[in-house]
Amino acid sequence: MGSDPGELGRLGFIKNAKNARRKRQRILRMKYTCQAIGDGFLEKREFDDKKDGVNDHDEAKEEMSLSSSYPSSSADNSSEENGAALERVTCVSHGLVSVIGRRSEMEDTVRAETGLFMVERDGEKKFDFFGVYDGHGGPRVAEACKERLHRVLVELIAEDQNQKQQGGNNNNNNNNTSSSIVWERVMEECFERMDEEVNRGRVTEEMVGSTAVVAVVGKEELVVANCGDSRAVLSRAGRVVPLSIDHKPDRPDEMRRVEAAGGRVINWNGHRILGVLATSRSIGDQYLKPFVISKPEVTVSERTDSDEFLILASDGLWDVVSNEVACQVVRKCFNGRIKWASTLGVANGTRATRAATVLADLAMARGSSDNISVIVVDLSRPNNFFCH
């Protein structure tokens, strides 16, 4: 017996309706904030759409925060005005995405602060701050780092500069006192102080922690501090330059450190400290001390005209995307060679925003089972930026 054309039409209509409904649910599950900082102008749009209760186990749950900042570069601006706008920040633009992915709970947080602080001795210096925090055992330590770590850094730098000022005044010779920041010491003290704040009671749960990778971007230097298995990668003149090395328990030097402190690295569904934690350094995790430490590894790089962009991301990206592939993707986004049709529902933004979103899309398409957080910082010099 032949099929009833009318019945087939009804089945096709139902199928199309279900597909359209599923697509709407992916968009409605999203929560994001979009910021665009133009030439002295701040526009902020917030969208908070609620789920309507439909279960869809075949699709990844998604929550995204997205932010971008950039100086105005419209066609009617003169080159002098563009240059002046770029002077106000130390990077052309940045974009960030933080997605819950296939996890049931969002434990990642991200932070971007442009023009966070200035050092005004021996000439004005401005710095931007970017941080990715990947929580475990819950989001509370990651959220505390998002709110406090950059502020702790500002406090420490202010203290450092005041001490140098007082030392110079006591010696009646300011020329002998340098205003330069000893980044390794300052970053180590910053992470230590943040760890103490968490363990003293800002977060009362002892079995909660967070990795942290942060970047301080100045006009002359690029500072990265990493504690855990998030990662920072720089693209310079087409080359991939890793600025951090993951703190994994099976890293030979980390394993020796843990064992020297009396701990053990156990291969239990992957190498873990005492068979529990899959990273050997973090902020928090008081119950695993002294085996798990909060001391970051710090790299200080001199800025060059060949710097293209910086990627900071949690292991939700790096578990499925290599440094080389990530840089290739961002470079193609910057050059307009990737046609952008994000599944995350973001329709516009800077090229850094688009690149960060494409990386998150790629990680989900490759089956990442973790939260995914990505920050892309456009480091192009003005002459390079406006030719794109």
Residue 25 is predicted with a pLDDT of: 44
Question: Looking at residue 70, what is its pLDDT?
Answer: 37
Check: CB of residue 372 under 8 Å from CB of residue 108. Answer: yes
Rounded CA separation 297/213 (Å): 10
Chunked in runs of 10, what are the mean pLDDT values of the chain (388 residues)?
A: 56 60 44 31 30 38 44 33 44 91 95 86 80 96 97 92 72 50 95 93 74 96 97 97 98 97 94 96 95 97 95 98 98 86 60 94 96 96 47
pLDDT attached to residue 119: 75
Q: Where are the domains of the chain?
A: 31-50+61-245+296-385
* Maximum CA extent, the chain: 104
Q: Is the whole model's pTM more than 0.95, yes or no?
A: no
For 31-50+61-245+296-385, CATH number out of 3.40.50.11720, 3.40.50.720, 3.60.40.10, 3.30.43.10 equals 3.60.40.10
* Category of 40 on φ-ψ map: left (φ > 0), alpha (ψ -120 to 50) or beta: left
Query: What tokens does 350 get?
Result: 């800077």
**CA-based end-to-end distance of the chain:** 62
DSSP code at position 281: B
pLDDT of 204 reads 55
